[in-house]
Structure 1
Amino acid sequence: MADKHGADKHGAEKHIDEISGVETTGHEWDGIRELNNPMPRWWVWTFYATIVWGIGYMIAYPAWPMLTEATRGVLGYSGRADVARDLEAAKAAQVVYVDRIASAPLADIVADPELSQFAIAGGAAAFKVNCVQCHGSGAAGSAGFPNLNDDDWVWGGSVDEIYNTIAHGIRFEGDADTHVSEMPAFDDMLQPDEIKQVSAYVVSLTGVPHDAAMVEPGQQIFADNCASCHGDDARGNREMGAPNLADAIWLKGEGEEAIANQVRAPRHGVMPAWLPRLGEPTVKQLAVFVHSLGGGE
């Protein structure tokens, strides 16, 4: 206690700030003194209330981590149980649409605005989980994987054809109905100059080759070796999985050197069959979603 002369009971002199008239704590840094302003009473009581609230919360709800689980709390609340209930409620709300999708032909799903909207939303969600690793988050593809937004379809772009491709995959050994195509390696069949010539011809279909003189002999080489799959006009053959070479869309690389490399030693992609993994309703939703991207037929 300080007496009226500003000294406490131990006789120590108390310092009073000259400007504010508030007692200081006795701490000083470079001539700056710390004022001894007490906290407002409302703040102190609020602080005490938060302590009481925290203790009550730890008693009522799961709070303290243990070796195998947290304390359960007297109210028995479980966030995981809440999430599980929400998921079950969502599934129950969706089941009517999922059942309709499972039983309806794809054409009917596309024609029904309500069902189509649900299928596109569900397919988009399934795509983000299962397909973006190869086709990208926007379905624009990555190196060696096709862009699903354009109008170039090796195996067909109708909703039924897209469904078959997703369901059974491409060159997937575990499915007897998978799409299969195999371009032979022409490295042992054609001379190096012939490979350059046919590559120049293919480039000439949509661009300008570096040597125009190579186009005519390259066209004959194409007719003798490639037209049986890609067609006389090089526009491809879906039944054989031969891509269109006259649309300026390139999957394995663009330019004469990339084409020549593909002629010498073709690279063949593999897509898994998704029907056994995801089930028919989800595959149908994926087909409707991909068909909706703008490149469908």
Structure 2
Amino acid sequence: MTDKHISNTHTGPIDDISGVTTTGHEWDGIRELNNPMPRWWVWTLYATIVWAIGYCIAYPSIPLIRDSTKGLLGYSTRGELKTEQNAATQAQTAMADRIASASLQDILANPELSQFAIAAGSSAFKVNCAQCHGSGAAGSPGFPNLNDNDWVWGGSVDDIFQTVAHGIRHPGDDETRFSEMPSFAEGLQPLEIRQTAAYVVSLTGTPRDPAMAEPGKALFEANCAACHGENATGNRELGAPNLADAIWLKGEGEDAVAAQIRTPRHGVMPAWLPRLGETTVKELAVFVHSLGGGE
């Protein structure tokens, strides 16, 4: 290799295979090619370094022991978030104050208030009610489905407010909803209980022994119609459920009906007014009413 292949002190000989100058460094017979980064890329790197230094000076960026640098511009994303949260809180407070002073009927008649109440009630429902009624308010055995139009105590927004506010069989609340189905384990014979259950099932389905439905009807009229009605359609004033709509709270089928006649189960719902306050209870009532409320 002649001297003309040697460039200057910063480069070595030209590599015979690639035709690229080398740096002059060689390891185990392998020469390092002199392939510097493109000039535009280098200047871009320098620009980002300058930008980073300027950013550190202008904005909070350098962590200290208990704090961080404040930056010359005084800007803070946390401060911006706090400002936005305060503005949202003020807007929510203003709407909550309007709901607090409005009647339930006025809230339903005002689209703005109704929309806010439904949104707020939905949040309150997920925190306080979903554990029993489910996140979608579809209920489960022993916990009613709030999406349908079947109501034990009435489905108007005022009825729902009363139920949510004072609960059902909630001890210590004089205005709580209260009904108690008596046990017929001693008043009726086992056969009579099964006959009554067969009649109740016959209202919406086919009992295992249809012949038992007729004597069961007479037993129902004598022992159950006073609360559930002659047609078994229920009585909301007494909290007696409709037995002729194929919607079951405690369980479906003759065995479940017979068990309820023999040893009735009574659920308990807390009174939410002392815990949540009137405004939140109004929002919950409007939200639940929007799911499937009816008169």
The question of a shared fold, defined as TM-score above 0.5 by the shorter chain, is answered with yes
2:96 to 95, 98, 109: 98
Counterpart code for 2:270:
P
Counterpart code for 1:71:
S
Alignment check: 8 A CA contact 1:290 1:296 kept: no
Flag the 1:262–1:36 CA change in 2: closer, same or farther, 3 A: farther
**Within 5 A, what are the aligned runs for 1:139-218?**
139-218=137-216
Alignment check: 8 A CA contact 2:122 2:284 kept: yes
Counterpart code for 2:41:
W
- Cα deviation for residue 154 of structure 1 reads 0.7
Q: Does 1:61 align with 2:60?
A: yes
- Cα deviation for residue 61 of structure 1 reads 2.1
Q: Counterpart of 1:29?
A: none
**CA distance in structure 1 between the aligned counterparts of 2:217 and 2:64, rounded to whole angstroms:** 74
Flag the 1:41–1:172 CA change in 2: closer, same or farther, 3 A: farther
**CA distance in structure 1 between the aligned counterparts of 2:270 and 2:278, rounded to whole angstroms:** 15
Cα RMSD over matched residues? 3.5
TM-score (norm 2): 0.79
Alignment check: 8 A CA contact 2:56 2:71 kept: no
Q: Counterpart of 2:83?
A: 85
Deviations 1:60-113 (A, max 9, x none): 4266486xx553644665555433332321232244432232122212222233
2:255 to 254, 257, 264: 257
Alignment check: 8 A CA contact 2:164 2:272 kept: yes
Q: Counterpart of 1:71?
A: 68
Q: Give ranges in structure 1 of 5+ residues lacking alignment.
A: 27-33
Q: Counterpart of 2:123?
A: 125
For 1:240, what is the secondary structure of its paired residue? coil
Alignment check: 8 A CA contact 2:133 2:144 kept: yes
Q: Counterpart of 1:234?
A: 232
Q: Does 1:223 align with 2:221?
A: yes
- Cα deviation for residue 57 of structure 1 reads 5.3
Alignment check: 8 A CA contact 1:235 1:244 kept: yes
Q: Give ranges in structure 2 of 5+ residues lacking alignment.
A: 26-31
For 2:237, what is the secondary structure of its paired residue? helix
Calculate percent identity across the aligned residue pairs: 67
Q: Counterpart of 1:247?
A: 245
Query: Which is greater in Rg?
Result: 2
**CA distance in structure 1 between the aligned counterparts of 2:69 and 2:188, rounded to whole angstroms:** 74
Flag the 1:48–1:243 CA change in 2: closer, same or farther, 3 A: farther
Flag the 1:182–1:64 CA change in 2: closer, same or farther, 3 A: farther
Flag the 1:65–1:218 CA change in 2: closer, same or farther, 3 A: farther
Deviations 1:7-56 (A, max 9, x none): 999xx9985655xx557999xxxxxxx98754434334444554565566
TM-score (norm 1): 0.79
Q: Counterpart of 1:31?
A: none
For 2:140, what is the secondary structure of its paired residue? coil
Counterpart code for 2:60:
Y
Residues 156-165 or 280-289, more deviating = 280-289
Residues 209-218 or 187-196, more deviating = 187-196
Flag the 1:264–1:80 CA change in 2: closer, same or farther, 3 A: farther
Flag the 1:6–1:260 CA change in 2: closer, same or farther, 3 A: farther
